[in-house]
Amino acid sequence: MNTTKIAIFGVGLIGGSLALCFKNKPGITVVGHAHRPESIDKYMSKGVVDVATLSMEEAAKDADFIFLCVPVGKLEEYLTKLSEMPLKKGCIITDVGSTKASVSVAAEALKFKDVFFIGGHPMAGSERSGVDAASVLLFENAFYVLCASASIPEYAIESLEKLLLYTRAQIVKVEPKLHDEIVGAVSHLPHIIAVALVNQISDYNESNMLYRRLAAGGFRDITRIASSDPVIWRDILLNNNEVMLRLLEDWNKGISIFIDMLKGSNGQAIEEAFQKANAFRNELPEGRKGMITPLFDLYLNVPDHPGIIGKIATELGSEQINLSNIQIIESREDVPGVMRLSFRQEEDMERARIVLHELEYTVFV
């Protein structure tokens, strides 16, 4: 059987999830590049890769596919290093960065010979980061954008598409600049808004802690993405700088309209704004994983002792229920022992509810 070597640079949330999709598939060997020595043991003990190495050359040598899964600000540096190494003829280099224009330009400028660069962006992820957050299910039913320049032969694109079938994502082809504009609006702008909103409330909380205690429910839902990795997002926003500045100007205009509506006590205009938003939002596609994916939460009363988090996680793990997050919630510190369990799939939440009920926990949604 022909063997396929896949090299993953940056085995974190996205690189680790891709590695899990490819690992143990017929004829595939997954090699993970670590940029810190302590990561080697971690990748191996977690079983995300077949081989882990600190050497870029060793990872890239003879690879059929190279996935660059590092922060956006590092992509050009990694591409340049690869362009100076002997690579297998026909090797496909792809990235997973959340912006596509600059990496496409950088790859084009390097003029790889007999090696093809195809930009990629799996449009699914989470606010978590690192290999511990990786999941084989991350991309299932999500869009996966590919951006190939006109010089890339169709057979190379088809070969990448075929490999990506293992992710169970749906491929879409988009021009890099258009990608950055649309993704800037539907993903990067919401991240800025979430962070600005959380920081606004955090400042109010300095003078009165009741802000944080009451900021549950909807506030938590719409600000989940404010917990995203600071370095990853610094790089994304700086890289998509021009687009973001334009979008923020439009955002300011939208907020000014709200200020005017409130100053003028214009109830009709406020109603119309909600009606317009309602109509557009109700038409959003359902049943497909979007970039900003919801979590499904369960709450349960738990006895107040230190081993409880491990105990619940083990009970659910033994039933193969995928838990995304587990936390004793601070905002209810006056009610001792309320635990929040978050799931990516509604089905997991429902199964957890049944299991925990059978174990005689008091569970509520």
Ligand X SMILES: O=C(O)C(=O)Cc1ccc(O)cc1
Rounded to 5 degrees, φ, ψ at 125 are 180, -155
Instruction: Give the binding range for ligand X (CB under 6 A) out of 15-23, 76-84, 253-261, 289-297.
Output: 289-297
Strand-pairing partners, residue 4, are 28
| Residue whose CB is less far from ligand X, 39 or 324 | 324
**131-190: which residues touch ligand X (CB under 6 A)?**
187
Rank residues 103 and 124 by Cβ distance to ligand X and give the closer one.
124
DSSP string computed for 205-246: HHH-THHHHH--HHHHHHHGGGGS-HHHHHHHHHHTHHHHHH
- Residue in the structure block whose two tokens are 């929040």: 340
Decide whether 57 or 272 has the Cβ nearer to ligand NAI: 57
What CA dihedral angle connects 126, 53, 136 and 354, to 10 degrees?
A: -80
Q: Specify the stretch interacting with ligand NAI by CB under 6 A; choose among 64-72, 311-319, 336-344, 347-355.
A: 64-72
Residue 97 in the binding site for ligand NAI (CB under 6 A) = yes
Q: Rounded distance, CA 280 to CA 282, Å?
A: 6
- Pick one of 134, 292, 316, 338: the residue that binds ligand X (CB under 6 A): 292
Q: What gap in Å lies between CA 71 and CA 252, rounded to an integer?
A: 29
Which CB, 94 or 129, lies closer to ligand NAI? Answer: 129
93 DSSP β-pair partners: 66, 117
Q: Work out which of 125, 160, 344, 348 binds ligand NAI, going by CB under 6 A.
A: 125
CB of 312 to ligand X, least distance (A): 23
- Residue from 6, 13, 160, 352 binding ligand NAI (CB under 6 A): 13
Q: What is the dihedral of CA 345, 316, 220, 284, to 10 degrees?
A: 0
Q: How far is the CB of 343 from ligand X (least distance, A)?
A: 14
Contacts to ligand NAI by CB under 6 A: 10-15, 35, 69-72, 74, 96-98, 122, 125-126, 129-130, 229, 232, 236
